[in-house]
Structure 1
């Protein structure tokens, strides 16, 4: 049997251990950096969603208030419809009464002048009247 040789010990490369640690540190730091970046992005997204939710909530409140206002205006308009028809009927009656009063006034003035002429004719005989 040949003499046994001791197994040579694997040499340690001085840079191998440091390089592995650096890679591990770099991958660990890049993973940490990515996690921080994702966290920051998620926080910004959460804040934007909260702002949008507040805006939509305010908009919803405004729409509900405007809807109630329009509903009240519609009810008032419907209530005014009957009042307007009544007022229109009263205005037409007043117009007819005004025309009737104008006719009566003119007839009264004509009758008055006829009476004045008759009285003058009977009391004072005016020569150019028969």
Structure 2
């Protein structure tokens, strides 16, 4: 059964898909640390936190936290790489390595928030 976190992660993933695959004017950005990269990191930070939290609530057993983390990070990071690859076939969009790096960095920040929240709950 889908809980509020998993429903939120699905809605958020659809929003990411719409925003990143909409044809637009491609403006090359050579800066590694730009607002664009922060945006990429932020959306995957939220996605990963929602995914791991939702999976953690749904999974049972003694290793549920490890499984939730592994599955959540794998799905979110793979989704980030997939979207970057798909952008190469969208008009006026392009695949950018630093965007993929920012996506993955956001995933690990989402994991960090999940761990902090669980420590505060305990």
Task: Identify which of structures 1 and 2 has the higher relative contact order when contacts are C-alpha pairs closer than 8 Å and 6+ apart.
Answer: 2
More helix by share: 1
The structure with more radius of gyration: 1
Q: TM-score range by the shorter chain?
A: under 0.3
